[in-house]
Every structure is written in structure tokens, then in C-alpha cells.
Amino acid sequence: MDQMTRGLFLGTAMSWVVAGMLLAMTGQAAAAQEQRPDVLFIAIEDFSPHRLGCYGNKVCQTPAIDKFASQGLRFAQAHTNPLCCPSRTALLLALRPGTTRVVGNSTDWHKTVPNAQPMPRHFRQHGYETVRCGKISHGRFEDETSWDREIGAHDGLSTRRGQIQKRGPGVENRGGTSFIYGPTDGQDISARDGGVAEQGVRILQQRQEGDKPLLLCLGFHATHLPLHAPQKYFDMYPPEQMEIPRNPGADASGMPPAGVFKTGNPHTLEQWREAIAAHYACLSFIDAQVGRVLDALEESGRADRTIVVIWSDHGFMLGEHFLWRKGPLYNESTQVALLMRAPGVTKAGAVCRRPVESVDIFPTLIELCGLPQPEGIEAVSMKKLLANPAMPWKKGALMWSPGSGRSIVTQRYRYNEYAGNKKQKPELFDHETDPNEFVNLAEKLEMAEVCERMSRLLAEGWRACLPD
């Protein structure tokens, strides 16, 4: 064989070898993509986990979420920043308020951290189809580059919107988000959350073998003011049967001293019970919609290949500490419902009592799906904790309030500091002896060492809280 022929032969052979390697790599990549699990992420507005049956509530009826808790892992100590935009921004970017400067609802992270990589965009760039219906980011700050499809709650649905009965102190007293509640005369599907559930069901029913892996994010809204749901859910909760929280300083009926309840919030015993009933009605309505979506997932035959997360963006106070709405650094405000089912990782009915943070959900899902972790995030994957909920974990969960407050919750304590607010002194609560956080121990000499340790962790930040 002469030199030219030999060269042509070797060149051709090498081309075939390279082509074969490329085909093999392509096949491996395609196989890996096919093996990647789908993700169903369900976000629910403004409710404390204390309202769910699986977290111990004996009145509010949430059978679908309770059933899901029995199939997966329930986090008993999950916390976040107690306001919509800071909470959702931290989860979606795996960055904290000190970095994003998002400590209120009016700051757009696109302007403060423009190079940040949102969770759904990361999934999209690594081969996932990303679909959103309902609120995932905070309102007008939704990131369009994150989604292959954004579906309106009633896109393609011909439904009659129900008429709303408006009651509550907010009907007469405007200012901020009015405290209004009342039933509608429509069917489930005619309400916003009913439409979100229907869109989720249809997407799951349309899934076929060979489709790209899916990240489906559904946002449910009804537990956000104003509190509206179909009449049948309000019928479940007669206001006169609602028990109100018992707070120190209340009179025999449970009402606070005169002037504590302000105009714009429920400020009579009747309104207080009506507000609790309305909030429970809206949560039961959402629970029914979540149940429809989870049933559709089971019927699709893909449940064993789908990671499911149910998460509330922050808590909502219903008169605990004589406070309403969101923002205060108490459990009913900062603690979130967090339930996860990861096939092959979580165990049915497991409970994790370690303090965890919403900000860690992003890297957890990334690792579960076998995707590369983005650089520069301020969070860690909880995959090992999902498999072993009793393992040693973080020293504490950190959170910011809308004002100057910062808080850390450990396995036993909550410690709050209010920088720049001389009137607001530090607070220390012992959850073993005072689970409702009524007794401030911060000024007791015997607790000085605990306060110093907690204050130091707050100052040193999230890295100081990482597992050893």
C-alpha cells in the first residue's frame, strides 16, 4: 500500500472511529436524559403548616396533602423569609437577601443580581421542558427566559366566573391588601386555582414516552388575601365553631386589650372567627385542587419517575400574638409547609425535624435530577437528608423580616435581633418549654451564653451554620 493510499485509509478509519464515539456519546446523553426524573413543583401562597392535618391541625380538612405526607417526607422545621418576594427569590435563585437585596416585595432581582441563574432556567438549559401555570416568582418579576411554556389559569377553558360575596374589615377600611373574604357561587374550575389544577392535569395527561424530562411548576393562590373559594368550602367551617388562638393578656373570650387589633385587620371576635373560617375554606379548596393534580400524576403511570415538592412560600398569622398576615419573626409567619417525594430516596411517612431552609430546594432538585450545580449559590443540597432525616444537619435556619429583623431557628431555640431598632430588644424562645413563643428569655442571665452563640451565628452567616 503506497503512502497516499495508506493515508486515505487511516484518515477514513479515524473518521469512522470518531463518528462512532460521537454516536455513542450522543446515545449515552439521550439515554441519560430519558432516565432523568420529571419534577412537579407545587407552590401555595400565604399559609402556615400549622393549618394542615399532617402537621397536627384537628379542624382544617386537607386530606390530599395529608395523604401525600404519608407517601413522602414531611419537614417539621422548614423556614423562610416571611414575605412573598424575598422568599420566592431566595428559593428560585438559591441566593439570600443580603446578596440579592430583595428584602421587600418591590425589588426586582433582575436589576440587583442580573447574572443570577433561576432554577427553571437552569433546568431548561440542561434539557428539561419547563412549564409554568400560576404564580412562581413574585408577580411582575416572573422570568420569561425560564419557561418553554407559560399557561394562563383559564387558557382554553370556557368557564363562568363565580360571583363573589365580599365581607370582612377590609370592605370598609382600605389600605394595602384589604382583609376581605367570602364565598363564590361558581364551581371549582371557574376559580383561578381550579384552572391551574385543570391545566396541570391536562399537561400530565398529555405526557408521552420519549418526551423531554419535565419541570412543571403550579402556583396556587386562594390562601392569599382576599380569601375567596366556592361556597361548599365555606360551608365546611361555620365561623361560630372556630377556636381562636389563646394569647397572654387576652380576656375571657380571647380578645386582646382595647386598641390592640387595628382597623384594616379583623378587630372583633366575630370577624376573627370569620377570618379563620375563610382561611381554612381556601386551604381546603386548594387541597382539593392539589389532590386532582396528584391523582392525574398517579394515573399517568409516571409517579415513580417524578419528584414532587409541595411548598408554601411563607406563613400567615391568624391572630397569634394578636397579629395578622405575614412578616413577624414567629413560627406562624416564617415556618413553611415543605413535603417532598423523591422515588428511590425518600421513605413513606418520614419526618425530618432538623431545621432546613427553602433556599436549599434548588440545589436539592438539581442533584436529584443529575444536573450540574450552578456556581455561586448560597445553599446546599438536602439529598442526603432526604434519605436519612435524622442525620446531623445545619446548626440553624436563617431568615430576614421585611424590616431590620433577622432570626435564626435551631433544633431548640429561636433567636431574633432587630438591628437599628432600639425599641425592639432581642428575643429568645425555647421551643421545648414554650412552643408558641410567648416567653422571651433573652434578658435572663442564665441564657446569656445561648444568646451569644446565636448572635454569633447570625453575624457569621449561612456558611457558619453548615453541617460539620
Evaluated on CA atoms 133, 139, 144, 145, the torsion sign reads: negative
Rounded Cα–Cα distance for residues 464 and 96 (Å): 14
Predicted pLDDT of residue 140: 84
Instruction: List, in order of start, the domains of the chain with CATH numbers.
Output: 36-391 (3.40.720.10), 404-468 (3.30.1120)
Interval 350-377: pLDDT, tens: 999 999 999 999 999 999 999 999 999 9
Nearest one of 238, 324, 229 to 282, comparing CA atoms: 229
Query: Residue 27: pLDDT above 50?
Result: no
Least confident range from 219-228, 379-388, 412-421, 431-440: namely 412-421
Mean pLDDT, the chain, rounded, equals: 91
Interval 289-338: pLDDT, tens: 999 999 999 999 999 999 999 999 999 999 999 999 999 999 999 999 99
Query: Residue 23: pLDDT above 60?
Result: no
Q: HEC states along the chain?
A: CCHHHHHHHHHHHHHHHHHHHHHHHHHHHHHHHHHCCEEEEEEECCCCHHHCHHHCCCCCCCHHHHHHHHHCEEECCEECCCCHHHHHHHHHHCCCHHHHCCCCCCCCHHHHCCCCCCHHHHHHHCCCEEEEECCCCCHHHCCHHHCCEEECCCCCCCCCCCCECCECHHHCCCCCCCCCEEEECCCHHHCHHHHHHHHHHHHHHHCCCCCCCEEEEEEECCCCCCEEEEHHHHCCCCHHHCCCCCCCCCCCCCCCCCCCCCCCCCCCHHHHHHHHHHHHHHHHHHHHHHHHHHHHHHHHCCHHHEEEEEEECCCCEECHHHCEECCCCCHHHHECCEEEECCCCCCCCEEECCCEEHHHHHHHHHHHCCCCCCCCCCCCCCHHHHHCCCCCCCCCEEEECCCCEEEEECCCEEEEEECCCCCCCCEEEECCCCCCCCCCCCCCHHHHHHHHHHHHHHHHCHHHHCCC
| Residue where the block lists cell 430516596 | 345
Give the pLDDT mean for 441-458. Answer: 96
* Buried-exposed string 102-122: b where 16+ CB fall within 10 A, e elsewhere: bbeeebbbeeebeebbbbbbb
Predicted pLDDT of residue 422: 74
Nearest one of 34, 145, 46 to 88, comparing CA atoms: 46
Predicted pLDDT of residue 2: 55
Query: Residue 33: pLDDT above 90?
Result: no
Give the pLDDT mean for 426-453. Answer: 97
Nearest one of 116, 78, 155, 100 to 312, comparing CA atoms: 78
Rounded Cα–Cα distance for residues 205 and 154 (Å): 17
Query: Residue 4: pLDDT above 50?
Result: no
Predicted pLDDT of residue 263: 73
Instruction: Grade residue 241 by pLDDT with cuts at 50, 70 and 90.
Output: very high
Output the CA–CA distances (angstroms, integers) from residue 180 to 170, 177, 231, 276, 378, in the order listed: 5, 9, 15, 12, 38
Predicted pLDDT of residue 6: 55
Instruction: Grade residue 262 by pLDDT with cuts at 50, 70 and 90.
Output: confident
Query: Residue 175: pLDDT above 70?
Result: no
Give the pLDDT mean for 217-223. Answer: 98
Predicted pLDDT of residue 1: 46
Rounded Cα–Cα distance for residues 307 and 123 (Å): 14
| Residue where the block lists cell 387541597 | 287
Rounded Cα–Cα distance for residues 199 and 204 (Å): 9
- 8 A C-beta contact, residue 324 and residue 318: yes
Rounded Cα–Cα distance for residues 394 and 404 (Å): 24
Output the CA–CA distances (angstroms, integers) from residue 182 to 137, 166, 173, 245, 285, in the order listed: 26, 5, 16, 21, 13
Predicted pLDDT of residue 9: 47
Rounded Cα–Cα distance for residues 325 and 138 (Å): 17
Give the pLDDT mean for 236-256. Answer: 93
| Residue where the block lists cell 364551581 | 187
Query: Residue 152: pLDDT above 90?
Result: yes
Predicted pLDDT of residue 176: 63
Give the pLDDT mean for 444-457. Answer: 96
Predicted pLDDT of residue 158: 81
Instruction: Grade residue 31 by pLDDT with cuts at 50, 70 and 90.
Output: very low
